[in-house]
Structures are given as structure tokens and as C-alpha cells.
Amino acid sequence: MDFAHSQKTQDYIARVKAFMDEHVYPVEEQIYRETEELNPTGDWTKWQMHPFIEPLKKKAQAAGLWNLFLPDDKLGKGLTTLEYAPLAEEMGRVLFASEIFNCNAPDTGNMEVLYHFGNEQQQEKWLKPLLAGEIRSVFGMTEPDVASSDATNMQATVEQDGDELVLNGKKWWSTGLGHPNAKITIFMALSNPENDKHSQHSMVIVPLDTPGIEIKRMLSAYGDFDAPSGHGEMHFTNVRVPKENLLVGLGKGFAIAQGRLGPGRIHHCMRSIGAAEKALELAMKRSLSRTAFGRPLIKLGGNGERIAQARIAIHQARLMTLHAAWKIDEVGVKNAMTEISAIKVAVPKMLQDVVDMAVQLHGGAGMSSDFPLARFAAGARALRLADGPDEVHMGMVTRLELKKYQ
Amino acid sequence: MDFAHSQKTQDYIARVKAFMDEHVYPVEEQIYRETEELNPTGDWTKWQMHPFIEPLKKKAQAAGLWNLFLPDDKLGKGLTTLEYAPLAEEMGRVLFASEIFNCNAPDTGNMEVLYHFGNEQQQEKWLKPLLAGEIRSVFGMTEPDVASSDATNMQATVEQDGDELVLNGKKWWSTGLGHPNAKITIFMALSNPENDKHSQHSMVIVPLDTPGIEIKRMLSAYGDFDAPSGHGEMHFTNVRVPKENLLVGLGKGFAIAQGRLGPGRIHHCMRSIGAAEKALELAMKRSLSRTAFGRPLIKLGGNGERIAQARIAIHQARLMTLHAAWKIDEVGVKNAMTEISAIKVAVPKMLQDVVDMAVQLHGGAGMSSDFPLARFAAGARALRLADGPDEVHMGMVTRLELKKYQ
Amino acid sequence: MDFAHSQKTQDYIARVKAFMDEHVYPVEEQIYRETEELNPTGDWTKWQMHPFIEPLKKKAQAAGLWNLFLPDDKLGKGLTTLEYAPLAEEMGRVLFASEIFNCNAPDTGNMEVLYHFGNEQQQEKWLKPLLAGEIRSVFGMTEPDVASSDATNMQATVEQDGDELVLNGKKWWSTGLGHPNAKITIFMALSNPENDKHSQHSMVIVPLDTPGIEIKRMLSAYGDFDAPSGHGEMHFTNVRVPKENLLVGLGKGFAIAQGRLGPGRIHHCMRSIGAAEKALELAMKRSLSRTAFGRPLIKLGGNGERIAQARIAIHQARLMTLHAAWKIDEVGVKNAMTEISAIKVAVPKMLQDVVDMAVQLHGGAGMSSDFPLARFAAGARALRLADGPDEVHMGMVTRLELKKYQ
Amino acid sequence: MDFAHSQKTQDYIARVKAFMDEHVYPVEEQIYRETEELNPTGDWTKWQMHPFIEPLKKKAQAAGLWNLFLPDDKLGKGLTTLEYAPLAEEMGRVLFASEIFNCNAPDTGNMEVLYHFGNEQQQEKWLKPLLAGEIRSVFGMTEPDVASSDATNMQATVEQDGDELVLNGKKWWSTGLGHPNAKITIFMALSNPENDKHSQHSMVIVPLDTPGIEIKRMLSAYGDFDAPSGHGEMHFTNVRVPKENLLVGLGKGFAIAQGRLGPGRIHHCMRSIGAAEKALELAMKRSLSRTAFGRPLIKLGGNGERIAQARIAIHQARLMTLHAAWKIDEVGVKNAMTEISAIKVAVPKMLQDVVDMAVQLHGGAGMSSDFPLARFAAGARALRLADGPDEVHMGMVTRLELKKYQ
């Protein structure tokens, strides 16, 4: 047992930190402020990226800090889940940093799907530009009219009609749908209702400009539209794509989804840990610099203890997430389900609590957009629902615990 | 000891409920949606009220449900704090309802200040149009550059210069500042640094169009701009008003503030209880109507227990707030400080927790603006800071507990 | 709505307090210490009451502070549930005080059963000596071999055999079974399995010296045997009593139980509130008198905030319990089930938390028998299981909430 | 980074588990029951070990599973803190298991002190019989009359008088003082008040039969006397020992204590994790075997979620403790203070919560001595105070966090 990162990992951490120090932190606040100004609510079709983002992407690519999430040696950097995890943490400290390194959700998950399950043509056509950071993609799974915590509730349909697939249904909370570069979606839908429960669904790649797709709106999460990326609602009415756009085969949707979600949850959780570290750092700075009743805030009442509790909570969460990453690498997602569900339950809640503490120490400023705290809070809240709500993951942990007694 | 509301109170509750049933609930969702559409972020100066609001105010006035908060028989309805409390709860269920009944913060607090502490001219000039619902007002207390949890940190100044008062300083989180009808602010500032700690500040009434006032921006709280009312930041540079605008006298600011905040905290807490009831109602409806894994959500895992915990928490919070209202009426704000601080600590936190539970049962929809939950959450979060953060109120409770042992 | 106790109640509170001040508090610690010394574990049959107890009972009786719990004018003092509640709180501050006033569980519940459901002979034979404090009684409901949270699991049986009833089965957690004065038990058992679920059980009065009853042992709860009262396990093997000992009739057990438990839960909760007040008082005194790092404990870190949280929690719990008492008086137990279950869930948990805080402020002393805190903790823990575990009461609250939507 | 135990560690885990399976678990319940019967409260001087214990110790010694905690190759097994940690977990599952392997507190800590700081004669005289399991020892630090959370409060004194040391003062919560084999204590006391704060105290080895030592009593912790080991109170009145009994030198007490406590906290926490695993196991078995309302308990309400939460909490706690052990091995106790304090705060609280959940699923049985749960609860509660209360460790974490910003 060895809790030290490998030399390779340590090097990558140092390089990502150095890049953040040199290129990202100096413009962090400016980009937050101007992104907000550039993207008022009201008409999401006018959303635009901050002009610094593309140049920063170029720099990251040039620095060899690109597609770090992808375990492939050539297309990515050949990092394991465990090796990538601490890099995701660094990126999680800044709301827009993942995109800079082409490591942002849901593109990472979609690239993994295309990498593992796409055929050569599909990879050429869609994986390549995604890996190049030229286009962005979304994922259509959650639906507005059913409890999507039970994925088998899915009502959208895909039917084969000759050489075409016909898609119908509504999807929402499709992250990134508002992004100017969003070009394709992976659409998951019911194709084979006659099959057993986990072989009824399929995944299809769909260009977003295909006729029949209507993007209804962007959704706010706790008031945060997450512009210019956004979370959107899209309606599919007799949308037709060639059957070459089908991933793997009809009925293979759940099998693909399983593989997609494991590393994705590590990424989300590690970014959450980075966000929590940032929140704690902001809390420390604020509570040292502001004074009430004659003392810096950190010396007042239970504030110091709350700082300690935050440090302990972050520390536990990080170890548990790194362990889950290690377990995925060692025995695969299927054999690491307790660990994956455990972090999915514990880490976003930890972030929510740490941010809440940090906001309280900031006073009103903490709730405003002057700090990233409110957006961290929105992100944490969303994560407690995304990729399976807490309750579903607790159910998974309980079920696997029960198995030991049967 | 009698836990039944008086017949008079019961009648008012019934009348407010009937009004809500007839006039408010039928348009609730439409007003939410359209208010959001009418008021994109970006340029708050274009914010506008939903066209239904003024007609609803007229109806409430005609129905005799107007200025219910004011204990005066003629100007209000002569309701005690305890009698008004359950009416505030009813209003708290709908984000815009308090305004309909001319019972919205901070106008209620400002009207109370003018009622109790304004002289005849001040009342004629500013209380009258406020009571008529013709203008709105704001309150300038919190400042961006200091920890405002310690009110004595206040840096804004007011100096007498002949017949004029000269005001300087920055204020933010001034609720209602973005409202099209906002016409005046009460400005609290340091006037007598030579006095003892609680006699150094003064309150001045200032028309918002006075030269030297710059409204910098509206602030979002957890992404919520609360348009078209808003929470604003305003800078005062050598703002001059006649000394007739001074309330009571120089150095009397804290004395006035004390009286203002007691009933205001009851109002906030009762509205929070209404919001929690609404959140619980939404949670019940959603979890009965949505199905996962073959059962309605409420039958799954710990969901039922969470509903029970919410009911118990709301029930406790309501009794405690009604008791605090009763105590204010019986022995005055000064002798009810434990009770007032207790609700201030417990009730917004309760709302935050109940709403979080309701959001979780709604899935993604709960975070969006399709339901008022996210805005309730923002309101609850803000309340844990407004009018003194939790920690300050806990300190008050501790201090009064200590007194018993001295 | 009026939160002040009636003059009558205030007088009784003053009298009970005066009695406690004069007769109980001066010997409190001595009785704790000596009772422990008198009653080592090992052989419960040698348990004895502290010699001060009987004289204190005589004094309480002489002072007219006797059987205060019983709503009857002649047999008790004609106090309503609400009027008695604050007296139970005063008694709850001292572990043995309820017995002094002949208001201790389970005798109170048993006396209520005999009062409401016993016939004249039964009342003459058993209610009279109980009201006189000459004998004590136990209640046999919980069983060791089944989940007693579901009362219909009950396996003990009662069968009619001519003029006799034949009882079989095991009961445990029968409170008071170790008491030297314990003479009878009410035995609840399955008599009519052919009936509907809530008409299958009966209650029978059984003298504890009836052949076939074996008292197996006393049980410790978190190490506390609660000597000389105790919680025992008793086995019934073909125990025969005359059918005159049947309460009301065969199959009436649940109907009787329902009525018994409502006020009993008020009593338990009010005593818990008294215990919590005592724990808070001890915490205050300790944290003011002990110094660490140069300051009294209460000034260190989050200690002050924990004191405030305890005050707020007790305050909420008291109001909620008084309200439940009032509701029982106004509309009966059956129509106050949400309120009764709510306090049953919230109040013992509150006591557990407040005591835990107080223990922490006492350091090791708090865990020892030098203070009543550990026994309060044991009592709180037991209460979260007794008379229905938290989960069953949460289920009741949820069920009643659901009814509003059907 | 590698989360797998080394082969050596895995072998030791397997051997300890096999020993427990073969020799300990089969007699676990019998030993619990009979130990309780053998050791009634009342006269601790008659306490005796269960007759199985010494033979089990012999077997463990023969199996090479002896003094596993000691990092020395010859005297122990040369295991690092990290290698020993999972073995302590296994021992923590059974209340008396540590003693079987000669790995019980406080002997482990005392042996470490003698090993690291004792001179040759001291080691010959006292370390040898301790390592042989022939005698037991106690540690005298906490005092009844001061807040011992601040160790500098210590009032006991040691003065040199010629070739002798004269000891005075009171100590309590000296674990193991009631054990029939207890022969010596390490006594910590003020010797050099003229020195700086952390150089004022000394440690002296004192045979318990030295004249002037009065063992006043054994203390119960939440009703648990922990017989036949116990936690005692001892008073020293002019106790004289030769100055050869002094450890290291006058004023070196704190320096010695620092080293002693680091690994000890790992041991305590790992045993707590073992206890939590056992509690979870018992909860699983009980909730699968008992049925209410027609379903096994685990399927009811929030029970399944609570099981999941317990699993997640244990999992986090274990990783954090193993990491702290690793850090001690890598960089020493002084550089691992955040990690050590973090586990000290989090792990006992985790055990308290997990046990509370398990008790609730057991109903009344969970509180009784039929299961080890109540004693686990008492142990957890005590650990939140022992070796520094939670608050002191939170203070340490906060302080080290602050250092990053100076």
C-alpha cells in the first residue's frame, strides 16, 4: 500500500498546476465576469465563448496537456483513471478549466463511448474533431416526462426504417447543448421493447442540425444557466439518420452506458474535490481578511471548527475517490460498483456542505457571482441528481452489501 | 395555554386563502414564467413588473387585505404580530404574493420605521405613498467592504453641513433596489463616532434620484436576481439631503434598527414556513405522480421518512415562530431576543433542508425555474445571512443563556 | 392563541418546583450514589429502594402533589394532559422524581388503563393500591423473538379454558419488573387470530407471583440496569388466572393500547425535555467553571454555538410537545396522531443530542455515574425504541401526510 | 499509488483472521456473557479474567501473533504502522481480542514508551514482562479536578528528594487499573514549572503497590465498567519511588507523550473500524432475519439507505486511517498531525453513528448486553474524549490549515 502518486503522475500534476498558475488563474475572475456579461439570459442562441478560451485551448494542446482523460497512448496521454484523477481535481478548481484541456463533460464521456464502441467511420467522423476540440457534443438520456432515476422509464424511441433510424422523444438536461460548438448528440432510446430490461435500448449519434430536432430552451440549475455551455431540452420528431449512426447494435445502449459512467463519475468527483479545495481556500482567505467584533472571522465561534470539518471531509473524499479510480483500473467498472456509488453519494454532498460553509463566511458576497461559490453550489446540487440520484446509488451499495449475506 | 388562533385570525386566514385561491394560484405559474421572460439578465434598468401585479394589488386592497402587517387600526388592520404571522405564512407560499398585499420586505420594515419613528411631515411625504403601494423603498445597511455581521463595522458616513446632511459610502444587498417603483432608501451611516458603540449611527431618508447616488448593479443570490425587485449595490458620493430627512436624531440609528428587526424576523420566518409548506406539497405531488422501479417515488427507500422529517421540522418551526410573535406582543422585542434569534437560526435552515429534499424528489426539474424550489432555496440561503448571520444569532442565544448563570 | 400556562398550571408548576427545591435536589446526588452502591449488578432479586424514597413519597402525597397525571378530579388532581405536561418536565430533571409523585411509567399508563377500562372489581383490587403507591406494576408487550416494532408480530397467547385464562409466551423490556414493589403485570397476547388484524389481542392482569411466571433476568440498556426499577424478561408457561382478570373483553387489546399510549408519549417527551434542561444546566455550569487554554470552556471554539443549538432544540421540542398535549385534550388521541408521532420522533433524539453535547463538555466525568448524563443518554436511546421505534412513527406521519392527497 | 496491502500484510491479515475464526469467534458470546456474570459491579477488587483468556494468549503467542504492534523485528514482528493497522481492525471486532494478541491499550502505548524511551534497566524490569503478557500497566494522565483537554492544566506533581521522586496528585480514567494483572503505572506530573509550557512535565514509572497510592474506584463509561480491565481513579499522596524510575529526564514528559500518541490513535481508530464492521454485520444479519409489516427489516423505509451510509462511512474512515498510518511511517508523527487529528475526530464519531444505527435495527436487544453494540457505543463515546477531545483535534487541524496562509 502506497499513498504517494507515481513520479509520472506527480509530473503531470506539476505541469497542470504550472499551466493553471501561468495561464488560467491570472484571467479567472475576468473570464467569469465577462462571460456573465457576454451571456445574459433571454436568448441562449446568442451565447458566446469568452474570447480567451480558444487561445487557452491552443496553449494547453501545445503544452501537451490535452485529452488527458483518455487512456489511449496516442490519442490521449495513456493515463490510467488513477493517474488522471488528480489532474481532474486541479481542473475542478476553475469553472471553465476542463474545457481548456479538452477534458470537459459530457465530451469526455462521449469520446470514451466513441473510442471504445465506435467503428472506424464513426471515429473518423466524430471522435477526431472531438479530440481536436473543434466540436462539442451532448448526451440525450434524461427525459422530462418520467422519473429518469429509473433509466428503464425512458420513453424516447428509435425505430429502424430501411437504412434509416427514426428517432422520437424528448430529452432534457443535455449538458453543453447551448454551446456554440455543439454539433452532435448521442441519443439513447427504446428500440427493442421485446428484449429483457437491459437490452431494450440503443444509442445513436445524431448531428444537431438534423431536421426534426427542436431545441426548446436552456434550463437553469439553481439560477445558473452555465452559459455558454448550458443544459438544454430538445425534442425529436421523426428525426432520421442513417443506420451507420447506430453505436454497436440495437439493444446495446445499456451495455455502452455502463462503461461510460464509471470513469465519468471519478472525473465528476475529482473535479468536485478541486472545487471544494477552492471553496476552502476562499473561505480561509476571507475569514482571515475580514474582521468582526474585533477579531478575524476565523477566530469567531465555531468558524475554526467548520474549517477543520471541511478539511477532514475533503481529505476523506479525495482518498475514497482515488481508491475508486484505482479499483476501476485494477478490476474494472463492474467490480468497483460499491466504490463508484459510494463516491457518487458522498462527494457531491461534501462539496455542497463545504461550499455552504464558505458562502456563510463570505456573507452576501458568497452568494453573488463575485465568487464562484454559488456556481459550485449549483454544480454540487446538480451532481446529486446527475448520473443517478443519491438514492439510486445508495440502493446499489445496499444491494451489493446484501449480496455478501446470500 | 391555547394553540388555536383567535376567531379574528381564523377569519383573516380564511380570507387570505380565499383570495389566493381565487386570484393568485390560478396565475402563479404564468406570472413566474412570464416574469422570467420579461426580465432577462444583462440590463436591470429595463426590469418590469408583470402586468398582472398592479391589478392584483388593487383587488387585495379592495378586499380589505392590505397593509395587514401594520399594527395600526386605521392605517393597517390593527393586527398583532401573532395575528399577522399566519397571514405571512400564506403569502410565503408564492414568491410574489407579499407584494400583492403590500406586505413585502423591505417596505414593511421601512413603513414600520416611518410609522414608529417618522415625524408628521416624513409620514405624509413617504409613509403615505408606501402604504398606498404607489412607491417602493429600500434599506441601505450592509456594505461591501466590511464584515457587516458586525454592524459597528459600518463605514458609510453622514455629516451635518448646515441645513443639509452629506452622505458617503457604499451599500449593497439593498433589496428592492431594482424595482421600477423604488423611489427612496433609508440610509444608515456613522454620524457620531465619539459616542458609545450603539449611539454612533443615524438613519436618513434619501430619494433615489438624489445626485451623487450611483446604482452600480444588481446582485444575484445563487443565480437568482429576484427580478424585478432585485438586490442592489449603490454608491453614495457627497449625496446631500435636507436635514428634515433625518429620522429621530443623530445617533439614533441602532435604537431604530432594533425595533425594526424584531417583527421583520417573524415575517421572514413565517414566509419561510409558507415556502416550506409549498415545497412539501410539491414534493408530495411529484413523488405520488412519478414512478420508478415500479412504485411511486414516495414508496421508495427513505423518501417517506424524509417527508415525515420535513413535516416534523415545519411543525416545530411554525410553533416556535408563532410563540416568538406572541412574546413580542406580550413583552416587546427587547425581552424576546432569545426567541427571535432562535427562529432566525432555525427556520431558514429548515427551509433550506426541506427545499433540498423537495428538489431531490423532483429530479432535474426541481433545480429549474419550472418550479419555485430553486428560488426558495436561494431565499433560504440568503436569509441565513440577512438580518444577521446564523452565527450572530447563535451568539445572542448563548449570551442570554450565560446571563442566567451570572 | 396564548402561550402562557393557565394560572392553575402555573401554581402547580410553582408547587412542584418548590417541592423539588426543598426535598429532592438537596438529596439528589446522595440518592444517585447510594442507590448505585445499594444495587450492584449480579443479583437483581436483592435490589432495594433507597430508604429516602418512601418518606419522600409520603411528603409529596401530603403536599397534594400525588397522581398528578390522572385527569380524574378525585383520584388525581383533575389536570388535563396540557396542565400535567410541564409538571412531568420538572420531574424529568431528576431520575427518580416521577416515582416520588407516583407519576412514574409504566404505572401511570397501567393506572390509566385500569381507570378507563377496568371494571369496578379490577379497580378496587389493583387501581387502588397503585394510586396509593403501595404496589408497582409492569406491562408485558415487547417480545424477544420477534420484531416488536410491528405489534401484530406478537407471539404470546392467551386462551380461555373454562373460567380461566391460560397464558403462554415471553415478554421482555418490561419496565419496573425488578422493583421490590412490583406485584402485577398487564399481559398482552394473541387471543383471537381469526379476527381482523387489530382485534386479535387481549390484555390480562396477572399477579407476578402466579405459578408459571419465570423472571429470567434484568436487561441493561447501554449498561444501565435502572435499578431498583429495571427492565426485565419474563417467561409465561401455562400461567392460569381467573377470567375476571381480562380487561374489557377478548380481542380488545389494541383498542386499549391506543388510548394508553397517547398521553404516555406526552409524559415521556416532557420528562425528556426536563432531562435536556438539566443536561444543559450541567453543561453551562461545567463549561463556566472549567478552564482550558486560558479561558472557560464555554468561550472555546464552537462550544458556545452548541449551547445555543441545544437551547433552540429544547425550546422547539417543548412547544411541540405542549401543542400535542393540547391537541389530545381538544380532539382526542386518534385525531392527534401526527402530533404524537412527531414528538416521539423528535424529542428523544433531541435529548440524545443535547446530552451528548453536555457529556463532551464534561469530559470523562460526563460519562461516569458522577453525573446523571450517561443515564439520561441511556434513557433517550431506549425511548427511540420504546413505544414504537422512530421509524414506525415516521411511517405514521408519512401515512397521514399521504391521506391529504387522496 | 497502490491501495493493495503488501503480500506480507495480506499474510498477517489472513493469519489473524484464521486465528479469530478458529479460536475467538466460537467463544466470543460465551466469554462476553460469563465475563459479565463473573464481574458484578460493587467490588472491583474481585474482578477476574475469564478463564479462557490466558490459554488464548498462549495460543496467539504460539501462532506468532504476538506483540504485532511493536515495530521491532525481534521484540515484535517488525511491522510498520501501516502493516499493523489492518490487524488492529480485525482485533477491534471483538471486545477482548486485543488482549489475546498482547496488543491492548494502554499496554501498547506504555510498551512503546519503554521501548523508545526506557533505559536498559527499565526495559529489563518492566518492558520484558509486559511484552511477555505477564503483567499489565496503566497510564496516569487525566485528572479529575481540571479540564484535562488542556494537558498543561495538570496539577499532579513530582519532586526530586535526594535519590527519590515524590509524587502527589489524582489521576482518573486510567484504563486497565482494575485488571488483576495491573502492576505498574506511568505517572505524568508537573516537575519543572519554571520551564516553558511543554517542558514542565515528567513521566515516572510507579509500581501500583507503592505505599501512598490509593485506588479509589472504577469508573463506568455509559454504564460500562469494562471489567475486568476497567478505568480507575487513583490518588497519590507522597508516593516515593527511586529516581531510576524517571523516564528520560525531568521535563521530558510532553516530548515522550507526543511520540506515544501518534500510533496509538491509529490503533484506536483501526479497532473502531473493526467494531463498526462488526456492528454493520450484526445489523445486516438482524435486519435480514427479523420481519415487520410483512418484510425483512432491511426492506423497510430508510433502513437500506442507512446500511449504505454506514458502508460508505466505514470505507472512508478506513482509507483515511490507513493513509495516516502510512504518513506516520513515511514522515513521522510530527509531520502527520493533520492526518492524525483528522482520524481522531472522524473515526470515533463514525463508530458512534454506525453503532447507533445497528442498535436501532436490533430494537431493545441492541441496547442490552446480548450484543456488543452498547459496549461499542460506550467505547466510541469514550474515544471522542480520550487522547484529546474532538474539539482539541479540530483545533489542531484548523491551526495547521492556518499555517498555509501565513
CB D225: neighbour CB atoms within 10 A? 24
Name the 3-class secondary structure at A354. helix
Q: What is the mean pLDDT of residues B317-338?
A: 97
What share of chain D has pLDDT > 70, as a percent?
100
Q: How far apart are CA B6 and CA B322, in angstroms?
A: 13
CB contact under 8 A, B326 and C397: no
What is this model's ipTM?
0.97
**What is the full DSSP assignment across B171-237?**
EEEEETTTSTTEEEEEEEEE--TTS-GGGSEEEEEEETTSTTEEEEEEE-BTTB--TTT-EEEEEEE
| Residue B45 CB burial class (10 angstroms; 0-12, 13-18, ≥19) | exposed
Tell me if A316 and D320 make a contact (CB, 8 A cut-off): yes
Which residue from C minimizes the CA distance to B406?
Answer: C288
DSSP secondary structure of A164-228: EEEEEEEEEEEETTTSTTEEEEEEEEE--TTS-GGGSEEEEEEETTSTTEEEEEEE-BTTB--TT
Residue with cell 420531574: C91
Strand, helix or coil at C183?
strand
Query: pLDDT over 90 for what percent of chain B?
Result: 97
Return the C-alpha cell found at D382: 469514550
* Mean pLDDT computed over every residue of chain B: 97
Residue with cell string 494502554: D106
Contact D364 C146 (CB under 8 A): no
User: What's the mean pLDDT in A140-162?
Assistant: 95
- Using pLDDT thresholds of 50, 70 and 90, give the confidence band for residue D260: confident
Chain B positions contacting chain D at CB under 8 Å are 301-302, 304-306
- Contact list in C for residue D386 (CB cut-off 8 A) is 364
How do residues B34-74 score in pLDDT, each as one tens digit? 999 999 998 999 999 999 999 999 999 999 999 999 999 99
DSSP C127: I
Nearest CA-CA partner of A106 in A329, A321, A272, A261: A261
> In chain D, which residue's Cα lies nearest the Cα of B304?
D301
* Torsion sign across C-alpha atoms A319, A324, A325, A326: positive
Domains of chain B: 7-131 (1.10.540.10), 136-251 (2.40.110.10), 254-403 (1.20.140.10)
**What 3-state DSSP class applies to C228?**
coil
Measured between beta carbons, the chain B residues lying within 8 angstroms of C316 are 316-317, 319-320, 342, 346
pLDDT value, residue C102: 98
Secondary structure (3-state) at A282: helix
Number of B to C CB contacts under 8 A, please give it: 135
Look up residue A318 and give its amino acid: R
Q: How far apart are CA A231 and CA A375, in angstroms?
A: 14
Chain D residues with CB-CB distance to B302 below 8 A: 301-302, 304-306
Measured between CA atoms, the residue of chain A closest to residue B292 is A150
| pLDDT tens, N- to C-terminus, chain C (406 residues) | 999 999 999 999 999 999 999 999 999 999 999 999 999 998 999 999 999 999 999 999 999 999 999 999 999 999 999 999 999 999 999 999 999 999 999 999 999 999 999 999 999 999 999 999 999 999 999 999 999 999 899 999 999 999 999 999 999 999 999 999 999 999 999 999 999 999 999 999 999 999 999 999 999 999 899 999 999 999 999 999 999 999 999 999 999 988 777 899 999 999 999 999 999 999 999 999 999 999 999 999 999 999 999 999 999 999 999 999 999 999 999 999 999 999 999 999 999 999 999 999 999 999 999 999 999 999 999 999 999 999 999 999 999 999 999 8
Mapped to the 3 state alphabet, what secondary structure does chain D carry? CECCCCHHHHHHHHHHHHHHHHHHHHHHHHHHHHHHHHCCCCCHHHCCCCCCHHHHHHHHHHCCCCCCCCCCCCCCCCCCHHHHHHHHHHHHCCCCHHHHCCCCCCHHHHHHHHHHHCCHHHHHHHHHHHHCCCCEEEEECCCCCCCCCCHHHCCCEEEEECCEEEEEEEEEEEECCCCCCEEEEEEEEECCCCCCHHHCEEEEEEECCCCCEEEEEEECECCECCCCCCEEEEEEEEEEEEHHHECCCCCCHHHHHHHHHHHHHHHHHHHHHHHHHHHHHHHHHHHHHCEECCEEHHHCCCHHHHHHHHHHHHHHHHHHHHHHHHHHHHHCHHHHHHHHHHHHHHHHHHHHHHHHHHHHHHCHHHHCCCCCHHHHHHHHHHHCCCCCCHHHHHHHHHHHHHHCCC
The reported pLDDT for the residue numbered D259 is: 74
- Give chain C positions within 8 Å (CB) of D147: 290-292, 297, 363
Residue in D285, D391, D392, D402 to test binding to C, most C beta-carbons within 10 Å: D391
Interface test with C, best of A305, A307, A360 (most C CBs within 10 A): A305
For chain A, which chains pass the contact test of at least 3 CB pairs under 8 Å?
Answer: B, C, D
Q: What is the pLDDT of residues C250-277, one digit of tens each?
A: 999 999 988 777 899 999 999 999 999 9
The whole-angstrom distance between A212's CA and the closest CA on chain D is 42
- Phi and psi angles of residue A166, each rounded to the nearest 5 degrees, phi first: -110, 125
Asked if the Cβ–Cβ distance from A1 to D82 is below 8 Å, we say yes
Kindly report whether the peptide bond that precedes residue A193 is cis, defined as omega within 30 degrees of 0.
no
In this structure, the strands spanning B182-190 and B136-140 are: parallel
Cell of A225: 444557466
Residue D400: pLDDT band (50, 70, 90) is: very high
pLDDT band at B202 (very low <50, low <70, confident <90, very high): very high
Mean pLDDT along residues A20-46: 96
Minimum-distance CB partner of A312 among D82, D319, D345? D345
User: Which residues of chain D lie closer than 8 angstroms to A2, CB-CB?
Assistant: 1-2, 326
The residue among B206, B146, B140 whose CA lies nearest residue B173 is: B140
Output C223 or D277, whichever has higher pLDDT: D277
- pLDDT the model gives residue D396: 97
Pick among A312, A331, A404 to test the D interface (most D CBs inside 10 A):
A312
**Predicted confidence band at A260 (pLDDT cuts at 50, 70, 90)?**
confident
Tell me the H-state helices in C363-389. Answer: 364-367, 373-383
Cα–Cα distance, A42 to B39 (Å, whole number):
8
Whether the predicted pLDDT of A406 surpasses 90: no
The alpha-carbon radius of gyration of chain B (Å, integer) is 21
The predicted model scores a pTM of 0.98
Asked if C323 and B2 touch (Cβ cutoff 8 Å), the reply is no
Interface contact flag, D304 B304, Cβ < 8 Å? no
Contact across the interface for B394 and C284, Cβ inside 8 Å? no
pLDDT score, position A261: 79
Structure confidence at residue C261 (pLDDT): 79
- Which residues neighbour C385 within 8 Å (Cβ) at sequence distance 6 or greater? D359, D360, D363, D364, D366, D367
Q: Which residues are bridge partners to A204 per DSSP?
A: A187, A246
8 Å CB contact of D315 and A345:
no
**Phi and psi for A140 in degrees, rounded to 5?**
-110, 95
Task: Out of C222, C300, C390, name the one closest to residue D374 (CB).
Answer: C222
* Dihedral (CA of B57, B59, B61, B63) sign: negative
Give pLDDT, residue A248.
97
**Contacting subunits of B (3+ beta carbon pairs below 8 A):** A, C, D
pLDDT in the model for residue C258? 81
- Chain D partners (3+ C-beta pairs within 8 A): A, B, C
Residue B242 has pLDDT above 90, yes or no: yes
Q: CA of B276 to nearest chain D CA: how many angstroms apart? A: 22
